[in-house]
């Protein structure tokens, strides 16, 4: 399935969907990673993908994982990238959006909340 359909990277911010892209592997490759030749394509999030995001939302927030990239193959969650979610520049380009401003605004609000609790 990965060789023909690729995978889907969904970026989530504070448990909400921020954006998504489909990645397809280079010929004779099964990995969809861009640095090994995978290509990014525009992707409309499906109802099943939204359901997966809703299912993990509470756990992500509870664990303090506010900005993540989740990888799906078909309708299966295969990876949660929490250290280096990756994908903002490509999703921006594919969808003519500016996702980093939403991430920065969220971080600024979160820091203000934390600062208020520290003093």
Give the angle subtended at the CA of 9 by the CAs of 89 and 51, to the nearest 5°.
Answer: 130
Task: Taking residues 84-112, report their average pLDDT.
Answer: 93
**Partners of 68 in the β-ladder:** 12
Which residue range forms the structural domain that includes residue 93? 2-118
In CATH, what number is assigned to the domain containing residue 8? Answer: 3.30.470.20
Residue written as token pair 């889907």: 8
Angstrom distances, CA of residue 11 to CA of 1, 72, 75, 94: 22, 11, 16, 14
Backbone angles phi, psi at 76, to 5 degrees: -115, 130
Q: How many domains does the chain have?
A: 1
Report pLDDT for 119: 55
Of the candidates 43, 41, 48, 54, the one whose C-alpha atom is nearest the C-alpha of residue 19 is 43
Residue range 13-72, pLDDT digits in tens: 999 999 999 999 888 778 887 777 788 999 999 999 999 999 999 999 999 999 999 999
Report pLDDT for 66: 96
**Partners of 101 in the β-ladder:** none
pTM of the model: 0.90
Count CA atoms within 13 Å of residue 111 on its CB side. 6
Report pLDDT for 20: 97
């Amino acid at each position: 399935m990965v060789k023909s359909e690729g995978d889907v990277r969904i970026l989530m911010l504070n448990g909400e969907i921020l954006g998504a892209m489909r990645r397809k592997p280079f010929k004779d490759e099964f990995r969809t990673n861009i640095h090994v030749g995978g290509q990014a394509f525009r992707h409309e999030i499906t109802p099943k993908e939204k359901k997966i995001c809703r299912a993990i939302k509470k756990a992500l927030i509870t664990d303090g994982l506010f900005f993540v990239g989740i990888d799906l193959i078909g309708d299966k969650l295969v990876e949660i990238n929490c250290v280096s979610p990756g994908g903002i520049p490509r999703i921006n380009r594919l969808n003519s959006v500016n996702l980093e401003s939403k991430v920065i605004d969220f971080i600024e609000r979160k820091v203000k909340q934390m600062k208020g609790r520290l003093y």
